Amino acid sequence: MRARIVLFGITLAFLFIYGAHSVTITVTNNCPYTIWPGVLTSPPQPQLSNTGFELASTASTSLDVPTPWIGRFWARTGCSTDGSGRFTCATADCGSGQVSCNGNGAVPPASLVEINSVANGGQDFYDISLVDGFNLPVSLAPQGGTGDCTAPSCAANVNAACPEELQVKGSDGGVISCKSACIAFGEDQYCCTGNYNTPETCPPTNYSMFFKSQCPQAYSYPFDDPTSLFSCFGGPNYSITFCP
């Protein structure tokens, strides 16, 4: 988290140095059911024109995103509209009451894809984060670009192995998402807050190591940068796949 705040400042600097262009981010649903991806742009940049959409199984949607841009994608599941017309989801709901999230983020637990895309061939940073827990497997692949340009993936069904105290169950009793320890317990030692707000005072816990064992390339807690934050030069496009 701390790294992503610093990166936000870096991107704002690029905003004044370079002219804006855009990248294409393609979202694909490989799950055997419909999902509803959400999109959140970090302020002070305006939200994209598309902040949430329905995506059928095997379907894809592409968004042209002006750069510099910092934001996140996630996918909602188990969504429906009630008799009053309010739209809600069983996991990762954004609380807008609509398919569009309109500047709202995901209610944890949610598997997050975070992208910091700069302009004119600079250095992008990106990651998959389980800091807020897990609801769906997801992968992220830069397309084009130069440098390492690693394509991180969290393909495991974390819900199937989720410790009982972190489980969120659906109406049928099945596990539909897995909380992080911070979300489940709200304690500084798990959230890396208060007296635990440095890498030295907030080492991995048994809970964060569980997530790391399931998805080694994803953030498992806030200070997981060395194995979870990736970069690519040259203004690549991105492909996000749910249930890769």
pTM of the predicted protein model = 0.91
Residues 131 and 182 sit within 8 Å (Cβ to Cβ): yes
Question: Looking at the domain assignment, is residue 149 inside a domain?
Answer: yes
Residue 20 has pLDDT above 60, yes or no: no
Q: How many domains does the chain have?
A: 1
Give 55-110 pLDDT, tens digit per residue.
Answer: 999 999 999 999 999 999 999 999 999 999 999 999 999 999 999 999 999 999 99
Fill in the amino acid letter for 140. Answer: L
Question: Looking at the domain assignment, is residue 99 inside a domain?
Answer: yes
In CATH, what number is assigned to the domain containing residue 38? 2.60.110.10
Question: Looking at the domain assignment, is residue 116 inside a domain?
Answer: yes
Q: List the Cα angle 75/143/139 in 5-degree steps.
A: 30
Give 127-181 pLDDT, tens digit per residue.
Answer: 999 999 999 999 999 999 999 999 999 999 999 999 999 999 999 999 999 999 9
Question: Looking at the domain assignment, is residue 109 inside a domain?
Answer: yes
